[in-house]
Amino acid sequence: MRKISMRQAINEALHIALNSDGTIFTCGEDLAAYGGQLRCSYGLLEYFGEKRVFDTPISEAAIIGLGVGASMLGLRPVLELSYIDFIGTCFDQILNQMAKIRYMYGGNVSLPLVLRTQCGAGLGNGAQHSQSLEAILAHIPGIRVVMPSNAYDAKGLLLHAVRDNNPVLFIEHKALYKLKCEVPEEPYECDYTCVVKRRGDHVTVAAYSAMVNQAMKAAELLEQQGVETEIIDIRSLEPLDTDTIIQSVNRTGRFVMLHEACLKGGFGGEIAATVQEACFSRLKAPIKRLGAPNVPVPFAPELEKEFLPGYPQVVDAVKACMQYR
């Protein structure tokens, strides 16, 4: 099967979506002729025209609001927010409008929109263009939060999200855009459940987005030392498939939770607490959480490297768990 990058996969999904349903449109800053600041929307304007593929001014509150209002009337916007760091400029429309309108209206309306954005550090973009803010979003009842870790999942999850009649925050990691894997040409979907990427009996490591690759790398190293690691790619924070994680930890008895976001208040705390409640009697070791230090993302490459969690920390964490028999 051919291998394509996550960027190409998302582009394919967007083409498939716009080609399949006339109520779907996409807009964002520099999205059309420029191909998007996320560089995933190239070609769309040429095929689908400017009624359905268009640029917006730098007005994030109005962009998101446009999506909210249009979706209330039955259109299916796929909005692009250039960086998740910019949610500050449109946060009311996400927090108080998009997430709550359906509930406040007693379920009399649905908001079938997708808000695509990019997160993540590692490319020297500095503190205001590198954050992982999914914990803030996953805390808000009423929105879905999805974070693909690879090209295959990105295409399938995006198509699934477009059909979802709920607002979906679709968070792409900027360091993953160029990574390739096998992706079918035809349309397909992935659902919101976790994926077990690797089977193992000694420890469960759960991660999402760019950290899944780090977990996989750690698992290879650990295998050489006789430790069998089970890796779960969470890929959707809301809805959260706790069953898969709990089943795994009930079997392995050890749990390491990994994300790129700052450790304090990160979504790993939520998952760790949930696992602790469900698996207490089966746990052989304390649960270990890994995340970035609680600092803004630094600019200098040495500091940014220090910021990013990676496979060495995963290896150390697993070994610490394995101390407990």
By annotation, the residues acting in catalysis are: 129
Nearest-approach distance from CB 268 to other proteins, in angstroms: 23
Measuring CA to CA, how many Å separate 251 from each of 261, 284, 291? 27, 10, 24
In this structure, which amino acid lies at residue 253? G
Q: Which helix (H) or strand (E) holds 180?
A: strand 180-182
- Phi and psi dihedrals of 179, rounded to 5? -80, 135
Among 164, 185, 173, 171, CA closest to 13? 185
φ, ψ dihedrals at 124, nearest 5°: 75, 25
Query: Long-range contacts of range 138-143, CB-CB < 8 Å, 24 or more positions apart?
Result: 138/237, 138/238, 138/240, 138/267, 138/270, 140/94, 140/95, 140/99, 141/99, 141/103, 142/98, 142/99, 142/100, 142/102, 142/103, 142/166, 142/167, 143/94, 143/98, 143/99, 143/167, 143/168, 143/169, 143/238
Q: Is 35 or 65 the residue whose CB approaches other proteins more closely? A: 65
What span, in angstroms and rounded, lies between the C-alpha atoms of 90 and 13?
26
Separation of alpha carbons 153 and 57, rounded Å: 31
Q: Which is nearer to other proteins, 152 or 311 (CB)?
A: 152
In the three-class reduction of DSSP (H, G, I as helix; E, B as strand; rest coil), residue 277 is classed as helix
21 or 223: CB nearest other proteins: 21
Please report how close the Cβ of residue 30 comes to other proteins at its closest, in angstroms: 15
- Nearest distance, CB of residue 149 and other proteins, angstroms: 22
> Which residues of the shown chain bind other proteins in the complex (CB under 8 A)?
12, 15-17, 19-21, 25, 43, 47, 51, 56-57, 59, 61-77, 92-93, 96-97, 101-110, 112, 141-142, 144, 159-160, 162-166, 185-187
**Structure tokens of 309?**
């969690």
Q: Please tell me whether residue 96 adopts helix, strand or coil conformation.
A: helix
CB of 25 to other proteins, least distance (A): 7
Report, in Å, the least distance between residue 158 CB and other proteins. Answer: 11
As measured in angstroms, the least distance from the Cβ of 155 to other proteins is 11
189: its two tokens:
């979907």
